[in-house]
Structure formats: C-alpha cells, structure tokens
Structure 1
Amino acid sequence: MDPIIEKFKDIPTTCISDAMEGLNNLHPAIKPLKKDDKLAGRALTVKIPVGDNLAVLKAIRASKPGDIIVIDAKGDLYRAIAGDFVIGMAQTLGVGGFVVDGVIRDIAGVKALNLPVFAKGTTVAASGKAGVGEINIPISCGGMTVHPGDIVVGDADGVVVIPQMWEQEVLERSLEKLKKDQIRETTISGNRDAILKHLDELINK
C-alpha cells in the first residue's frame, strides 16, 4: 500500500480536520455503519443520478486494491446505491471501502462483510441500471469536492478528504496536531492545577 496512506490510517480524522482548518470534512450525516469502522485510501469517484447504480458497478470493475469508492448519489435517502451482494463483490476485488452521499441496503449483510461503509443510512429500495453516470471525475460528496486520487480518511467522527496537491503538508500538520494532543493528554488530564491553568490560557488568549 501507498506509504502515505498507511500513515494517515493511524491519525484520527479530528486531527486531520484541524490540520485543514475544518474545510475538508464531509457532511456529518455520512457516518460508518459500524461505529468502529475506519478507512483510508485513494478515491475512485462515482457520479450517479438518483436511483441508477450502473456506474457503481463500473467503478467496482475498474477498482484497484485499496481504492475507496466515493459516490455522489445526490444525498438520496430512498434508493440504495448497493446492497450486500454488490458490496461483497467489491470486497472480493480488494476495494478498501465505500463513502456514499446516499444510502445502502441489506444492512445486516453489509455489516457482516466487515468492509467499511460510510453512508447517510439505509433503505429497502433498490436502484435501477439505466446506465447513466460517470466514474473517475470530480464529484461533490457530502458538500465537499472530491477528485479521483484524493486521499479519503474515515472513522467514528466522520470523513475527511485530503487533496493530492496538499497531502504531504496535511500529513505533517496532522502528525504535529496528534503529538500536541497526546502531550496535552498526558500532562493535563486528571491534574486539577494543570487543567485550571490551561483553561485560563484558553480564556485569556
């Protein structure tokens, strides 16, 4: 796997978000179906109209191991972009996860696959396959522009997108923020005097 992806895997999305001033977060309604799910990888983007998921199948067919399939489904909450069978095929081909501005179905089966899926929720209705849609183009997902190859990181707090042109800089800033958080945790948490001092510093900044 891409070494920079491996490094982002170990960084909380909160730190990555802070490193980008909170500007590259997807809508908070897009959450993992299983609270402990995490993902990190490069975006394979999909743009579909409401109720047509043929382009999702094309994306799975075109995917490389580790790709995160990021789907602009227009936020539709009625028709699922996929169910457990389609997501299971993606898992077998090595897809690293899904991020969907929309919903999925067959939630019990999808959860049993243990493939990270981030979506706005679940539904019972399937999509059709009229054939409209595109892959590997810039899309809007959860209010954020996502380009093919951007790094996508998700955990219990949500999903962030790191543009390729900034990925090294964002990685360095994220690691710096994580280190500061860890130092703060060990030196302040549980220490009454340190907490009071820290609060005064924040209030009087």
Structure 2
Amino acid sequence: MEPIMKAFMNIPTTCISDCMNGLNNMDPAIKPLEEGYKMAGRALTVKIPVGDNLVLLKAIREAKSGDVLVIDTKGNQYRAIAGDFIIGMAQTLGAHAFVVDGVIRDIVDIKKLNFPVFARGAAVASSAKVGAGEINVSISCGGTAVNPGDIIVGDANGVVVIPQALEQEILEKALAKMKKDEKREKEVSGNVEAIKKYIDDMLTK
C-alpha cells in the first residue's frame, strides 16, 4: 500500500470531508456492508449500463493491487451488479475495495469475505453480460465526480473522493484538522467549565 494510503486509512472520512467543505462526498446512501470496514485506495472506474456487468469482469482482470473498483450503475437498485462470486474474484486478484452506485446480492456470503463493499443495499435480481461499458474513464458515483487514480476513502460514515491533483494538500489539511480535533477533545470533553467556555466562544463568534 502506498504511504499516502496508509496515512488516509488513519483519518476519519468526516475529517477529510471537512477539509473539502463537504463537496466530494458520495451520496450518504452508499454505505459499507459492515460498520467496521475502512478502505483507502486509488479508483479504477467502471461505467456500465443498468443491468449489465460484463465490463466489470474486465475491470477486475485489469485491477492493480490496492485498487478500489468504483462502479457507476446510475443508482439502479433493481439488478445487483455483483454477488459473492464476482466480489470474491476481485478480492483474490488484489482489489482493495468495491464501491457501487447501485446494489449487490449474496450479502451474507459477501460479509464472510471480510472485503470492504460499499453499496446502496442489496437486491435479488442479477445482471446480464452484454458487454457495454467502459473502464478508466471519468464517471459519477453517488453524485460525485470520480476520475481514474483519485483516492477513495470509506468508513462507517460513508465515502469521500480526493482528486488526485489535490491529494497531498488534502492529506496535510486533514492531518492538521485531526490533530486539532484530538486536542479539543482532550481539553474540553468531560470538563464542565471548558464545555461552557467552548459553547460561549462559539455563540459569540
């Protein structure tokens, strides 16, 4: 894993989001199947029509170790883009996580894989394999622009997208904010007088 990914793995998405003014967050409906899932990796983007997942197999075959598969299925929630078999293949070939603006299926078996999957939920119907679609192109996922190579960070709160051109700047800001938040927590929480002073300071700004 790249050093920058290791750094982002230790920063909450809430903190990263604040450093980008909340402008690069995916739709809150896209959530991890398990609250404990945490991921950070580079986007391998997948653009496919509703109900067709053949190009997803191509993306899985071409994914580099640590890539996050980010799939634009237009938010469709009737046909699942993948089940445990396809997601298991992605895991085996080295993908780091799976983010889909749509739904998956076989969620009980997917959870057994202990592989970070972020989706809108689950559905019963499968997708066909027609073959339309593209990989490594600009997409929209959860209402947010994603370009190949952007850093994708996800945790229990949701998913944020960090543009590749800004990744170092955002990392520095996020680390500084996290340090500031930790200092505030230490000084204020549990201290009655400090809490009152903090609230008074906020109200008089």
Q: Same fold (TM over 0.5)?
A: yes
Percent identity at matched positions?
Answer: 66
Q: How does 1:9-158 map to 2 (within 5 A)?
A: 9-158=9-158
Amino acid at match of 2:23: L
Amino acid at match of 1:89: M
Structure 2 alignment gaps of length 5 or more:
none
Equivalence for 2:161: 161
Q: Secondary structure at the match of 1:69?
A: strand
| Shift in Å, 1:2 | 1.1
Equivalence for 2:194: 194
2 CA distance for matches of 1:57 and 1:38? 24
| Shift in Å, 1:91 | 0.5
Equivalence for 2:2: 2
Q: Secondary structure at the match of 1:8?
A: helix
Q: Secondary structure at the match of 1:108?
A: helix
Q: Secondary structure at the match of 2:129?
A: coil
| Shift in Å, 1:82 | 0.3
1 CA distance for matches of 2:203 and 2:31? 33
| Shift in Å, 1:181 | 0.7
Q: Secondary structure at the match of 1:42?
A: strand
Structure 1 alignment gaps of length 5 or more:
none
Q: Secondary structure at the match of 2:23?
A: coil
2 CA distance for matches of 1:184 and 1:54? 49
RMSD across aligned positions (CA): 0.5
**Aligned residue pairs, count:** 205
Provide the TM-score with structure 1 as the length reference: 0.99
- 1:133-167 per-position Cα deviation (integer Å, ceiling 9, x unaligned): 10000000000000000000000000000000000
- 1:100-123 per-position Cα deviation (integer Å, ceiling 9, x unaligned): 000000000100000000000000
- 1:39-85 per-position Cα deviation (integer Å, ceiling 9, x unaligned): 10000000011000011111100000100000001000000110000
| Shift in Å, 1:203 | 1.1
Which aligned runs of 4 or more in structure 1 are off by greater than 3 angstroms? none
Amino acid at match of 2:166: W
